[in-house]
C-alpha cells in the first residue's frame, strides 16, 4: 500500500497536478488530497486506483525506497 508522501513524490516525478491524477485514476481531486495528507483512512480501492494510475504512467514503488520512474529496458 502506497503512502500519501509517495503519491506526492510520484506526482512530482510526472509533473502532474492533483487534477491530472484524479482524472487518470477516475477519482475526485478531494480523494487525491485526502490520500496525500494521510490523516484519514481511505478505502483500499481508492489507493489502488491511484497506484494503478501512477504505475501506468511509468512510476514504480520499490519496497522501502522513494518512487521512481521505470527505466527503459536494456537494448
Q: Give the domain ranges of the chain.
A: 4-65
Residues sharing a CB contact under 8 Å with residue 2, sequence separation 6 or more, in sequence order: 10, 47, 50, 51, 54, 61, 67
Judge whether residue 72 has pLDDT over 80.
no
Written out in words, the top-level CATH class of the domain with range 4-65 is: mainly alpha
Q: Span 22-34, mean pLDDT? A: 96
Q: Grid coordinates in use for 42?
A: 481511505
d(CA 55, CA 25): 11
User: What is the 8-class DSSP label of residue 64?
Assistant: T
Say how far apart CA 45 and CA 59 lie, in whole Å: 19
Percent of the chain with pLDDT strictly greater than 70: 95
Amino acid at each position: 500500500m502506497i503512502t500519501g508522501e509517495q503519491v506526492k513524490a510520484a506526482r512530482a516525478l510526472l509533473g502532474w497536478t492533483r487534477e491530472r491524477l484524479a482524472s487518470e485514476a477516475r477519482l475526485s481531486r478531494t480523494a487525491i488530497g485526502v490520500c496525500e495528507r494521510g490523516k484519514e483512512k481511505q478505502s483500499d480501492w481508492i489507493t489502488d486506483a491511484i497506484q494503478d494510475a501512477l504505475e501506468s504512467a511509468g512510476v514504480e514503488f520499490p519496497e522501502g525506497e522513494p518512487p521512481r520512474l521505470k527505466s527503459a529496458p536494456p537494448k
